[in-house]
Homo-oligomer: A and B are copies of this chain.
Amino acid sequence: MKKAIFFHAGCPVCLSAEQDILNLIPADQIEVVHLGDEKDKVADAEKAGVKSVPALLTPNGNVLHINFGASIEDLK
């Protein structure tokens, strides 16, 4: 089966969202791509329809853009 891909860019307020996603989805079904570190994958992400991060590209090609926003805790 094709894996889901979680795209992010390492923004501190999104790390919690990433951890939540990884806790929920079995490890063998998801790949994580850090677009800040892996800049050669930005074009691929864009081609897949990713408009903002974090975003989850599902195995069937849908892109779920996630607006986590900032947790109050992260702003303290």
Q: Which residues of A contact B (CB under 8 A)?
A: 4, 16-17, 20-21, 23-26, 29-30, 58-60, 62-69, 71
Contact = CB atoms under 8 A, between A and B. Distances in A.
B20 A64 contact: yes
A66 B21 CA distance: 12
Given A24-B30, A29-B24, A65 B58 contact: no
Given A24-B29, A25-B24, A62 B68 contact: yes
Contact of A62 (B17, B25, B62): B17
Given A26-B26, A59-B23, A66 B65 contact: yes
Interface centre among A24, A26, A60 (most CB of B within 10 A): A24
